[in-house]
Structure 1
Amino acid sequence: MRETATNLPATGEDSTSPSDQPVRGAEEEIAPVAASTPRSEQPGVLFVCVKNGGKSQMAAGLMRLELATAGREGAVLVSSAGTRPGSKVNALSAEVLAEIGADISAETPRQLTPEAMREAGHVVIIGAEAQVQPLEGVQIERWELEEPSERGIEGRERMELVRDEIHLRVRELRERLLG
């Protein structure tokens, strides 16, 4: 169970460092290189996994539940996405969340986009499989969860353990985001 947090610099072909920009005359107006999605003053978090059908949806549902329970509903912009989204939310994930008052049954997996990352400002990658390109100004952390199936635990019991571990981490993140 390892957690890392970084504020990663931009990399790759989309770099906008001064050395990558054309030289302009002093009288020329400089336009932004690329339009960015404006970030609200409200804190945001985007939970990411590969399919956006299980763990990231669970984390988003649990964050919404935690905010509502604390009387802070809407205090954090909460979203989720996948690097290769599936077609639907995992039924067992939705079922074990419903047991504790979080409803994700109507959610739909979404594709991860740079705009969604910028809008949230804080990205939590759940698991080791999802790979996310860093963006300047976006804080990224990864939650590597214990996998119960590696101990022979499957089905409902596995999903409850995953839910409970994510829930603990979501509570801690809520405190960090809201102070």
Structure 2
Amino acid sequence: MTATPSVLFVCVKNGGKSQMAAGLMRAAAGDTVDVHSAGTSPGTAVNALSAEVLLEVGVDITAESPTPIDAQLLRDVDLVVTLGREARIDPDAGVRVENWDTDEPSERGIEGIDRMRLVRDDIAARVTELAARLRG
């Protein structure tokens, strides 16, 4: 029997994209993947629009709160996923890291709830693929 795979999702504030990815992964993988999220410079709350668009698909992150990266967790997880271009981490050798350069609709003039739905859908597609990879 193999250990449960683990993933740490990281963005800057840990209030939007990384929280969305973690919530979507928990929904997609259940207890088959250990899921964590953190920020390189955590904010004070989960982004309200992020939480709202996840509720639309049955995922509730409203009770989550931004947290800083734990150095031990960073070393222990099987995979670290950074979301967006701004989140930068300096992992120890041997830590697997991949970056998701997620859709940024605001660059196309799309804002508000419509922007967050597009971000959610982009992250959800990536999470679905990652969940399958992690579970082998």
The alignment's TM-score, normalised by the length of structure 2, stands at 0.96
Structure 1 gap segments, 5+ residues each: 1-39, 68-72
Residue range with higher mean Cα deviation, 114-123 or 97-106 = 114-123
Q: 1:38-49 counterparts in 2 under 5 A? A: 41-49=3-11
Identity %: 59
Q: Among residues 59, 64, 81, which one is paired with 1:124 in the alignment?
A: 81
Do residues 163 (structure 1) and 125 (structure 2) align? no
Q: Among residues 90, 109, 114, which one is paired with 2:66 in the alignment?
A: 109
CA RMSD of aligned residues (A): 1.1
Moved over 4 A (4+): none
> What is the match of residue 31 of structure 2?
74
Amino acid at match of 2:49: L
User: Separation in 1 of the partners of 2:84 and 2:33?
Assistant: 22
Contact 1:45 / 1:76 at 8 angstroms: preserved in 2? yes
Structure 2 gap segments, 5+ residues each: none
Deviation at 1:178, TM superposition (A): 0.5
Higher helix share: 2
> What is the match of residue 83 of structure 1?
40
Deviation at 1:145, TM superposition (A): 1.2
Deviation at 1:137, TM superposition (A): 2.4
Contact 1:47 / 1:80 at 8 angstroms: preserved in 2? yes
1:110 is paired with a residue whose SS is: coil
User: Separation in 2 of the partners of 1:97 and 1:120?
Assistant: 25
2:31 is paired with a residue whose SS is: coil
> What is the match of residue 138 of structure 1?
95
2:69 is paired with a residue whose SS is: coil
1:74 is paired with a residue whose SS is: helix
User: Separation in 2 of the partners of 1:62 and 1:92?
Assistant: 15
Amino acid at match of 2:55: A
Amino acid at match of 1:63: M
> What is the match of residue 26 of structure 2?
64
**In terms of Rg, which structure is larger?**
1
Amino acid at match of 1:133: D
User: Separation in 2 of the partners of 1:87 and 1:141?
Assistant: 26
Q: Deviations over 1:21-51 (max 9, x none)?
A: xxxxxxxxxxxxxxxxxxx921000000000
> What is the match of residue 151 of structure 1?
108
Amino acid at match of 1:55: K
2:119 is paired with a residue whose SS is: helix
